[in-house]
Structure 1
């Protein structure tokens, strides 16, 4: 048996993409054909060296993920980009391609096709209970970051740090401003629809930002046991009574010794996703090491203030005005001036000596705004531009390039 992983020893990264028609950009529910091409049979996951491919609930979505814990984030942009190219090569004869961003801009979620093969009973259970014909189930692509811990002490430190950073993440990662063919009013529409997709059983998602719980025993009692009790009348066979039922923005997987952050929208290319993850990891390391505030103070920050900031952040992302002095203190902001989320991120990176190089992916995000803001700028008031803008985004993914505020 291998030794347990400790804080920041390794990283698990998952990137989800839409499969769309190469010409119309309408969704194509053919993820099973791609996996069959890669594996020689229709299976839910195929391991291909450093990266594995797998299915998701919707048949038009495919996930690329690290094949086990990765010791470093540094080589991952290249690995993921190589596999994006490989998936696109399999899709080309089918008249299809991959499309980035966290929501399809004009998909009708009522037309969703669920994965019909192994694990289908789980998806059908979700569909029966929650009705997956909605954007919050059928139309969302995210990035998941898995971070290891060993024992309650490490879990408590990591969970506290993740709770604090969560309201700031849409400022970097929001990429879903368009829904039903028009701007939604949210830069991170994916999180707006995600946070209500389990409203029939509110304990699954709760306030998105997790509760201040710092031991496995407390988590088991206050979160898992309540969720399982709440869903039991709807799930008498117990199909869903597992840790994956937890739909908070970060979920504890004690069976894996990891916390999975789930609130990040997917970007236009893996280099952008990994640049955001590098910034997140460096910031979490600083919080865990008590660079700005002691652990005891971090663990006292309440859920509702964090959740309220998060709700504003999914609407306004980088432009979110941060007024909460308690939150700002956790990141070493002591000035009387109250910053925007973008200003706070520049401050954090400067504090960590991580000011991004000019024209690097993170510099583009901080200078030109998150992808959602760049998309809205390019679409403008003429929604007939939607197809050309998203066609360019598909090309950015294919080529591994950044989508810029102004066309090249």
Structure 2
């Protein structure tokens, strides 16, 4: 049994990065070579002090994560950055480097995808048979995951209610995937546009992205896990898939580790930005849990479809979307229709005293200059030539290596 923690006692953060060749920025499916270079022999997980490294579904994505729960969020930007420098140093031998943002702007997933062929490969092969993982929604997605603990059903209810309310706003803070295959997709958060439908063959897995309004362990199993198990049973004849692993909503309850994992955050240009965003999201969730803005009874009544209808246009327009739902804005102490950027500015003002000053610059860069998707498109200047895209994303790779914000 995993140790149980109370609300906001500890945190878990996961960051996914793509490996690319330096000159061309083409995907480099050499995570196995990277892990071997670090460890001396191939392993799917490496503990590197307070940060761990692991593989993902495809051969060109590596995940960095806190090595177990941590109490100290403020140190994570530097810790992740140290690991990024170490990885980039190892990748020099392969003429490769890490690339940030939630999707590669030039990748063709049909030709550039190589599934992980080592540990857990049987799981990935089954997923590939079910959903065809050679698509943008599977092989061209990098995200940040935030894990928040709960101790019992009462704490689960408080946390789940608050997270569900905040999920629609997340792309308006951190969208970073506006370009696919050299084209402006029209979506600031193309990763989430694919997220909605990349498991459409078995819709019980993702639902409507926003999890259902369930607030006890028993109700969660009845409403979410049991339909997932029933739907997957005809396909998973070898019984290798597990319900926690299959649940693909935008926030998932991990009862096996007494936590909720938020999955709607696009990864940014550097850990400085990622951790600042995580801290802002966490502080707003704390504020919602405190019921200073709206009551728990009010928060838990919102239906997932209504919240999805708010999320959906924000996936497209991010911070620029004007929210017409005043009843929803009331949950955050706002009594008139405003855009997403103004709402995040309002929430930042409320929680800023609780956020270490080392994170203010990153948050204020986003609020003043727009989401990373907006800043990328500004840097592109409507020139979607391969040269201009490579130049812009090489600058983003430099931001990652130096842990600096991207301001075109």
Cα distance in 1 for residues equivalent to 2:350 and 2:264: 24
Question: What residue in structure 1 maps to residue 393 of structure 2?
Answer: 390
157-166 or 344-353: which moved more? Answer: 344-353
Cα distance in 2 for residues equivalent to 1:190 and 1:274: 20
Normalising by structure 2, we get a TM-score of 0.97
Q: CA 1:357 to 1:87, structure 2 compared with 1: closer, same or farther past 3 Å?
A: closer
| 1:77 maps to 2:77 | yes
Question: What residue in structure 2 maps to residue 360 of structure 1?
Answer: 361
Cα distance in 2 for residues equivalent to 1:313 and 1:131: 27
Cα distance in 2 for residues equivalent to 1:227 and 1:358: 39
Question: What residue in structure 1 maps to residue 119 of structure 2?
Answer: 118
Corresponding residue SS for 2:338: coil
Question: What residue in structure 2 maps to residue 67 of structure 1?
Answer: 67
| 1:150 maps to 2:155 | no
Corresponding residue SS for 1:208: coil
Residue pairs, 1:14-163, within 5 angstroms: 14-111=14-111, 112-163=113-164
Question: What residue in structure 2 maps to residue 299 of structure 1?
Answer: 300
Deviation at 1:327, TM superposition (A): 1.5
Q: CA 1:26 to 1:121, structure 2 compared with 1: closer, same or farther past 3 Å?
A: same
Corresponding residue SS for 1:203: coil
Question: What residue in structure 2 maps to residue 260 of structure 1?
Answer: 261
Q: CA 1:357 to 1:119, structure 2 compared with 1: closer, same or farther past 3 Å?
A: closer
Normalising by structure 1, we get a TM-score of 0.97
Corresponding residue SS for 1:383: coil
Residue pairs, 1:176-325, within 5 angstroms: 176-325=177-326
Deviation at 1:323, TM superposition (A): 1.3
Cα distance in 2 for residues equivalent to 1:160 and 1:268: 30
Cα distance in 2 for residues equivalent to 1:14 and 1:3: 19
CA contact (8 A) 2:4 2:257 kept: no
Deviation at 1:358, TM superposition (A): 10
CA contact (8 A) 1:357 1:363 kept: no
Cα distance in 2 for residues equivalent to 1:352 and 1:188: 25
Question: What residue in structure 1 maps to residue 6 of structure 2?
Answer: 6
Deviation at 1:326, TM superposition (A): 2.2
241-250 or 211-220: which moved more? Answer: 241-250
Q: Which runs of 4+ in 1 moved over 6 A?
A: 355-359
30-39 or 238-247: which moved more? Answer: 238-247
Cα distance in 2 for residues equivalent to 1:377 and 1:2: 46
Corresponding residue SS for 1:6: coil
1:253-272 alpha-carbon deviations (Å, 9 max, x no partner): 00100000001000000000
Cα distance in 1 for residues equivalent to 2:229 and 2:240: 11
Cα distance in 1 for residues equivalent to 2:74 and 2:25: 32
CA contact (8 A) 1:204 1:246 kept: yes
Cα distance in 1 for residues equivalent to 2:83 and 2:317: 33
1:214-269 alpha-carbon deviations (Å, 9 max, x no partner): 00000001111100100111111121233110000000000100000001000000
Q: CA 1:359 to 1:250, structure 2 compared with 1: closer, same or farther past 3 Å?
A: closer
Question: What residue in structure 1 maps to residue 349 of structure 2?
Answer: 350
Cα distance in 2 for residues equivalent to 1:70 and 1:163: 23
Corresponding residue SS for 1:263: strand
Question: Structure 1 regions of 5+ residues with no counterpart?
Answer: none
Corresponding residue SS for 1:234: coil
Cα distance in 1 for residues equivalent to 2:29 and 2:2: 39
Cα distance in 1 for residues equivalent to 2:220 and 2:378: 43
1:294-341 alpha-carbon deviations (Å, 9 max, x no partner): 11111001111210111111100001111112211111112x3x1101
1:60-107 alpha-carbon deviations (Å, 9 max, x no partner): 000000000011210000000000000000000110000000000011
Deviation at 1:2, TM superposition (A): 7.6
Question: What residue in structure 1 maps to residue 338 of structure 2?
Answer: 339
Cα distance in 1 for residues equivalent to 2:48 and 2:379: 36
Tell me the C-alpha RMSD between the 2 structures: 1.4
Deviation at 1:353, TM superposition (A): 3.8
Cα distance in 2 for residues equivalent to 1:358 and 1:91: 29
